[in-house]
Chain A
Amino acid sequence: MSDVLSVRGLSVSVRDTALVSGVDLTVGAGERVGLIGESGSGKSLTALSILGLLPEDVRADGSVRLDGVDHELVGADERRMSRVRGRDIAMVFQEPMTALNPTMRIGDQLTEAMLIHKTLAKPAARAAAADLLDRVQLPAETLRAYPHQLSGGQRQRVVLALALANDPALLICDEPTTALDVTVQALVLDLIVRGVMDRSSALLFITHDLAVVATVCERVLVMYGGRVVEAGPVSEVFTRPRHRYTEGLLAASDLETTSRRLTTIPGNVPPAGRFPSGCVFRTRCANATALCEELPAWTGSETRGFACHHPAGDADA
């Protein structure tokens, strides 16, 4: 089984400041992989680099390969990338309220997705648009509506329909439900999962919400300070975390703790680009020693591993 997405040594930097360093990431066919991190961890930049949508001064190095696309995605020119986007890879962004063109009807925006890549001719595209809306549980009237007539949840569903219009091999979602009401979140998450499963697409799901990852994903990678610090199946990483940061994250999400105070990770996330040398987490880690000034190597395999000099579960277990 070849991987749909293969990222090797991805680094993202702006001028001389490194924002993301040495990220290795794979997503297999039909797999649902989560990428967890707080703001400033570099997860969104990683996603944007895959699509080649980084802002002007920001550059990416390394390798990103997609199964079925014969060229390297990093640094590829606009002409090639525009053929890949929306067809082989699609993305759902965080903010639904501003994601759609306010002066264009929903139906037109949907059919456009198919017409750009000549997946379908105009009349067929219209029918397909109606079908897409139906699959995200929106009524047919939505085709003629304008975005401002829809709620946030409805708009996000449209964005999802747009993304899945051409049956992409990989769907990337960057915090798709963070801006939505809790009641709508479950629906949209469900639609995302169904959408990718129906098409046997791979999913890369980016979020800071551990509960969502637990529900949606099979495998997870944890990012901090621009690096992947731990990776593995969700069930394992969430019950037996090895990296101290993952440990801290899980503890902080544990609302059923018997202690009277919420557990937090001491200190603050360093601003992008100002990560400590060596292990990026050492300035906030209770277990840090002088050894941690050296970048920890990756222990374990591609699919289950971590980068820590003093992982949890070693001395404790």
Chain B
Amino acid sequence: MILRLIERTGVFLVSLAVSSVLVFAFMAVLPGDPARVALGVNASDEAVAELRRQFGLDRPLPTQYFDWLGGLLHGDLGTSYVSKAAIGPQVFDRLQVTLWLVVAGMVIALAIAVPAGTLMAARHRKVSGLALSAVSQVGVAVPAFLAGILLIVVFAVKLGWLPANGWTPPAQDPAMFLQQLILPALALGLVQGAVLTRYVRSAVLDVLREDYLRTARAKGLRPFQALWKHGLRNAAVPVVTVLGLQLATLLIGAVVVERVFVIPGLGSLLLDGVSNRDLLLVQDVVMVLVLAVLLVNFLVDVLYVALDPRLRTA
């Protein structure tokens, strides 16, 4: 088991390193000169050259890469060429916002998927199961931002129960924060919930067929008890495997949902950075997103080993 954990950590670190190279190289390919972009078309050549020197853009690429990487490892995300502000604090603030959204979305998704998926599996040949299946099919087809827009139309426009957009930090005004969190979290959670439901259903169906459930019933467990005590842990394994990927989708979904609800999260930071051609900012945010995805996948792998003892003997 230790061997496997070491292997997984190794894969994580290598993926991180390779990704950082890819991201850096990609941004370096960008046509145009970041310094000139920052200063504007009419800037003099000397001013541009001076800015380049200031930001270290005149050094060879590998040096720039290692400098950047070194900075990241120390938590220093550098200074934006465009806004001249430190990038680190911005990212940190925005990250918190996005995290709230993503975690709330995931909680909602799981709260929907686990009961719904299990129910669908238990009744998979009955009408209620098929009906639920059809509903989940529709749920999967709706992108998160569309769900967001529809939710706004229903709950903010027609019913006026909840605000259509905006964001308040929880410390400032908890009630407002919650109200503003509900719709975007629902937008993410409902859609992700539909996707997860299908995975849960499939996993539970597989477990229902297993012989050890029959053994459990032969021991005297009632069907639901058997499923609960023996089935769930086994069904969790394939679902957890897919959670990592789902979290990545959720993270990216958050990027778009933030646009819909005008939430100052990491997504909007990224998009603003792209429109402002604030390259270092974009580079950093992309790296943070990639790190988040890889980290989640790594944690999921570890969780996977914890759940399934068959994986522990190296």
Contacts from A to B (Cβ < 8 Å): 51, 53, 56, 78-79, 82-87, 90-91, 93, 95, 98-104, 112-113, 116-117, 146, 148-149, 159, 162-163
Contacts and interface: CB of A to CB of B under 8 A. Distances in A.
Contacts of B125: 56
Given A98-B212, A102-B212, A149-B313, A51 B220 contact: no
Nearest to B230: A101
A86 B217 CA distance: 8
B310 A162 contact: no
Given A101-B230, A101-B234, A104-B230, A146 B310 contact: yes
Interface string B272-312: 00000000000000000000000000000000000111100
Chain B binding surface, main DSSP class: helix
Interface string B211-232: 1101111111111000001100
Contacts of A102: 212, 234, 308-310
Contacts of B309: 102-103, 146, 148
Contacts of A93: 211, 214-215, 218
21 contacts: A51-B218, A53-B218, A79-B222, A85-B217, A85-B219, A86-B219, A87-B220, A93-B211, A93-B214, A93-B218, A98-B210, A99-B211, A99-B214, A99-B215, A101-B230, A103-B307, A104-B233, A112-B219, A113-B219, A116-B220, A149-B313
B214 A53 contact: yes
B212 A82 contact: no
A149 B313 CA distance: 9
B249 to A, nearest CB: 27
A85 B218 contact: yes
Given A102-B234, A103-B234, A78 B313 contact: no
Which of A53, A79, A85, A90 is most buried by chain B, counting CB atoms within 10 A of its CB? A85
A82 B313 contact: no
Contacts of A148: 309-310, 313
A85 B221 CA distance: 8
Given A98-B212, A101-B212, A102-B308, A91 B233 contact: no
